[in-house]
Amino acid sequence: MVINCNSIEEVRENIDRIDRQIVSLLSERGGFVKQAARFKKTADDVKAPARVEQVISKVVNLSKELGTSPKVAEAVYRAME
């Protein structure tokens, strides 16, 4: 959903609101990643490179579907490894 803003201040307020949501969601995701590690038996299972590639492929495709940059999505998810 795109909100039509009437000023640069309103644009910035919306960007700030979205940034807060993004960071909050990254934090929430990180918590689940930590929980997943509890269910894995070895350090190699925790790293799970095949799973990382599967997730990156999923978010790259999702970014294309939603009209955002696949390169940015991939970079963000690779940075979270």
Clarify whether residues 74 and 61 are in a common domain. yes
In the structure, what pLDDT confidence band is assigned to residue 47 with cuts at 50, 70 and 90? confident
pLDDT at residue 71, as a whole number: 98
pLDDT at 81 over 80: no
- For 49-75, the pLDDT digits (tens) are 899 999 999 999 999 999 999 999 999
d(CA 79, CA 74): 8
Q: Supply the range of the domain harboring residue 24.
A: 7-39
- For 8-33, the pLDDT digits (tens) are 999 999 999 999 999 999 999 999 98
Report which secondary-structure segment, H or E, holds 78: helix 70-79
Clarify whether residues 23 and 46 are in a common domain. no
In a domain, 33, yes or no: yes
Clarify whether residues 31 and 50 are in a common domain. no
How many independent structural domains does the chain possess? Answer: 2
Q: In this structure, are residues 55 and 46 in contact, taking their beta carbons and an 8 Å threshold?
A: no
**Helix 70-79 and helix 49-66, axial crossing angle in degrees, nearest 10:** 150
